[in-house]
Amino acid sequence: MNMSRVYNFSAGPSMLPESILRKAAAEITDYNGSGQSVMEMSHRSKIYEEIIFGAEKLMRQVYGVPDNYKILFLQGGASTQFAAVPLNLLNGSGKADYVLSGQFSTKAYKEAQKYGDVKAVASSKEDNFTHIPDLDKAAFTPDADYFHICFNNTIYGTRWSYIPDTGDVPLVADISSCFLSEPLDISKFGVVYGGAQKNVAPAGLTIVIVREDLLGKARDITPAMLDWKLAADNDSMYNTPPCWSIYMCKLVLEWLRDEIGGMENMKKINERKAALLYAYLDQSKLFRNPVLPRDRSVMNVTFVTGSDELNAKFVSEAAAAGLVNLKGHRSVGGMRASIYNAMPEEGVKKLVDFMEKFEKANS
């Protein structure tokens, strides 16, 4: 790794593989002999079509997206999809179920409440979101238009260890912070969506993967820009797409395929990184991970000392050592190491070494 680069543990935007940053840099003024940067290209040009259709095809191959699902390259972040989900789906019974497992799922729930009869069927709020709530099927709404979960809770460092069975009710999942981190059986979901800036590309791109039979149910009032069917019918080019981020997404997918060797390998690497950190935390006398072990995230690892002062000291000394953005989310405090796909194993080892030294010096 280039010595001037730091290990960035930010929850997002986050690190991108250095090799693709170099590739993008090499192509920045002249993409593939076109005499133009991707940033300057018409999205209606042949050369750009190769990029966007290439990214779509690669996503299908690398992530195993079934043929009866559309992949949409949109904008507005996962937060815009909190409204787009009800505006596209809440049009049958007008009812939907939400599981509250953290801040983003709660935001999604509040947004959906503007549009219909939306119920929270489970919540772990009273336990400070330190686990995924247990589900009671008797509480589910049998005729709901959909059932919503957040698959990896970025702020609290929890993740679903299984895909809930919602029967005929389409399961919709925010996968922003675990996108492309491990193999995912997309056929178990009606819709998955996420902002790209955690694991997939720079900020600006939002990806929605939707089963085809769920298209065409949008409400009359749904803004054209939020209508998934309109996006699908126009190959994600109803208006100008986030051209550069889609290009970077294609490079990330090539990296996953060629350098990592696919999703199974990515999962193994990610699990190794997380295991290193959790093993250290579990034996540490200074640091502690507050999450129920069953539900620990592989992507976002939260930890605390007993003291706000020591937490702050840790974050600033770590930054001075080239381990940056380890401060926890402002709503929970403490520390958080986001160790997405592009965080090298070396970075996690350096973090654990640093934590050991810090523990010795401060006990």
Ligand X SMILES: *Cc1c(COP(=O)(O)O)cnc(C)c1O
Which of 339, 314, 23 has its CA nearest to residue 181? 339
Rule CB under 6 A: say whether 325 interacts with ligand X.
no
What are the φ and ψ backbone dihedral angles of 18, each rounded to 5 degrees?
Answer: -60, -35
- Least separation, in Å, of the C-beta of 150 and ligand X? 5
- Least separation, in Å, of the C-beta of 286 and ligand X? 28
Rule CB under 6 A: say whether 284 interacts with ligand X.
no
Q: Using CB under 6 A, pick the residue from 56, 97, 111, 174 that binds ligand X.
A: 174
Give the 3-state secondary structure percentages of the chain, helix then strand then coil, rounded to 5.
40, 15, 45
Token pair 């999962």: residue: 267
Site for ligand X in 125-154 (CB under 6 A): 150, 154
Cα(91)–Cα(191) distance, integer angstroms:
16
- Least separation, in Å, of the C-beta of 258 and ligand X? 27
Nearer to ligand X, 177 or 245 (CB): 177
The secondary structure of 216-228 as a DSSP string is: T---TTS-GGG-H
Site for ligand X in 185-244 (CB under 6 A): 195, 198
Token pair 């193994």: residue: 268
DSSP conformation class of 328: P
Q: Using CB under 6 A, pick the residue from 10, 34, 36, 79 that binds ligand X.
A: 79
Rule CB under 6 A: say whether 77 interacts with ligand X.
yes
Rule CB under 6 A: say whether 12 interacts with ligand X.
yes
Nearer to ligand X, 154 or 289 (CB): 154
Nearer to ligand X, 334 or 354 (CB): 334
Cα(151)–Cα(166) distance, integer angstroms:
15
Strand spans (E) along the chain: 7-8, 69-74, 95-100, 117-123, 146-150, 152-153, 158-159, 171-174, 191-195, 206-211, 300-303, 323-324, 335-338
Nearer to ligand X, 72 or 286 (CB): 72
Region binding ligand X by CB under 6 A among candidate stretches 19-27, 71-79, 113-121, 131-139: 71-79
Q: Using CB under 6 A, pick the residue from 15, 51, 58, 78 that binds ligand X.
A: 78
- Least separation, in Å, of the C-beta of 27 and ligand X? 26
Region binding ligand X by CB under 6 A among candidate stretches 61-69, 172-180, 242-250, 268-276: 172-180
Rule CB under 6 A: say whether 104 interacts with ligand X.
yes
- Least separation, in Å, of the C-beta of 356 and ligand X? 29
Which of 58, 8, 95 has its CA nearest to residue 256? 58
Nearer to ligand X, 77 or 216 (CB): 77
Token pair 């996968």: residue: 175
| Structural tokens at position 286 | 């200074």
Q: Enumerate long-range contacts of 111-114, CB under 8 Å, 24 or more apart.
A: 111/82, 111/83, 111/86, 112/82, 112/83, 112/85, 112/86, 112/148, 114/83, 114/86
Nearer to ligand X, 198 or 327 (CB): 198
Number of residues lying near ligand X (CB under 6 A): 12
Amino acid type, 328:
G
Nearer to ligand X, 161 or 283 (CB): 161
DSSP conformation class of 327: B
- Least separation, in Å, of the C-beta of 177 and ligand X? 4
- Least separation, in Å, of the C-beta of 142 and ligand X? 27
> How many other CB atoms are there within 10 angstroms of residue 224's CB atom?
10
| Structural tokens at position 2 | 């280039």
* Coil/strand/helix, residue 289: coil
Residues that bind ligand X (CB under 6 A): 12, 77-79, 104, 150, 154, 174, 176-177, 195, 198
